[in-house]
Amino acid sequence: MNSQAPLEVARPLLICFSHLRWNFVFQRPQHLMTRAAREFRVVFFEEPLFEHAARPHLRVLADPSGVLVATPIIPLGVDAEPRLIRALLDDWLTHSPHPMLVTWYYTPMALQFSGHLAPEVCVYDCMDELSGFLNPPPELQGLENDLFERADVVFTGGHSLYDAKKNRHSNIHAFPSSVDVRHFGRARVKQADPADQSHIPHPRIGFFGVVDERMDIGLVGAMAEALPEVQFVMVGPVVKIDEAHLPKRDNLHWLGGRSYDELPQYLGNWDAGWMPFALNEATRFISPTKTPEFLAAGLPLTSTAVPDVVSGYGNSGVVTIADRDAMAGALRQSLVATGPERLAKADKLLATMSWDKTWKTMSSLVNRSAAARTLYAAQ
């Protein structure tokens, strides 16, 4: 639909302001907001798109999950300054009555057009240290300071990020990446090979996820050269780096992005997985969602020494941690790392994790924050 969504007043409204698009890669925001939609009327508010359009407007599309995806559409040649996006947001809210408003931020930059709102609860889900990513906006740090002041409750995407932020808020909680075990468990059952990788010989070692400044491109090329007998399958969209700079070898296959639903079929036809992350400012605080997803798929997994991967998985022995010098040997070993003991160890860890559990605890903290604010206002 391209018009205003039908009014629904019974449930509280949650507006999620995200720097990631809903249909980009299905990860933490999508997992949490699809679950939030069982309790809230959820609007996932994206960054603007520039299109041929007669006038600026807010495109609101209903996702099958129940989430409404709202995208400001700005005519080509028009500056999408914050006051313009604010007007589109305010117009939508005027026609969308709600008994309670929760604002949920993944990017402090959204305060530029939403800072005037007066929600019952303000949530900052600090998924990543965005200031460590490539070319962060100069306003980011100041706006994050503002968001910490406004937020009633703060969540972090991992324990290292929690340690870095814990002194900035009195109500802050670590929620590392979780997993839908049933979804990725489909990879443990033999299934047809996707057409675009069916011609690739075995053994195969695969990666899935966004290919950007967080990946050690040099390491990928070096391993493809060091292990010519191994086929490296790389699934994921290339973002913020020039595809022309990706290493090219006959045993290195860049397949591009695939949908969340398709991933188990790809993983189910790999022999092992790896996470060749660079060790830089962009990965210093990440808690990769793909770590437990690889384990749920039943694949032996090797990773570089990302701090949250080391502390959460490497120390328990379910993920092999290797530096550049040891990586080739570790990858060779992963191809023979079979047996029920490895799977049992991974499954024991996975049994403590689920996005449903994560959302249930987050929801409780949001409701507690709402109750505390109501009590404070009544005094």
Interval 152-195: pLDDT, tens: 999 999 999 999 999 999 999 999 999 999 999 999 998 899 99
Computed over every residue of the chain, the mean pLDDT equals 93
Least confident of 58-72, 132-146, 285-299: 132-146
Contacts of range 189-194, beta carbons closer than 8 Å, 24 or more positions apart: 189/268, 190/268, 191/264, 191/265, 191/268, 191/269, 192/265, 193/265, 193/269, 194/262, 194/265, 194/266, 194/269
Q: What pLDDT is attached to residue 374?
A: 66
pLDDT confidence of 9, banded at 50, 70, 90? low
Q: How far apart are CA 72 and CA 106, in angstroms?
A: 17
Q: How far apart are CA 162 and CA 154, in angstroms?
A: 10
Q: How far apart are CA 276 and CA 234, in angstroms?
A: 11
378 or 343, higher pLDDT: 343
Q: What pLDDT is attached to residue 2?
A: 47
Q: What pLDDT is attached to residue 337?
A: 74
Q: How far apart are CA 271 and CA 276, in angstroms?
A: 16
Q: What pLDDT is attached to residue 1?
A: 41
Residue 39 · residue 33 · CB < 8 Å: no
Within 10 angstroms of residue 11's Cβ, the number of other Cβ atoms is 15
Q: What pLDDT is attached to residue 322?
A: 97
Average pLDDT, integer, range 200-205? 98
Q: In the predicted model, is pLDDT for residue 315 greater than 80?
A: yes
Average pLDDT, integer, range 2-21? 76
Give percent of the chain with pLDDT exceeding 70. 96
Q: In the predicted model, is pLDDT for residue 3 greater than 70?
A: no
Q: In the predicted model, is pLDDT for residue 353 greater than 90?
A: yes
Q: What pLDDT is attached to residue 286?
A: 93
Q: In the predicted model, is pLDDT for residue 321 greater than 50?
A: yes
Q: What pLDDT is attached to residue 106?
A: 98
**pLDDT per position as a tens digit, 245-273:** 999 999 999 999 999 999 999 999 999 99
For the entire predicted model, the pTM comes to 0.92
Average pLDDT, integer, range 112-124? 97
**pLDDT per position as a tens digit, 203-241:** 999 999 999 999 999 999 999 999 999 999 999 999 989
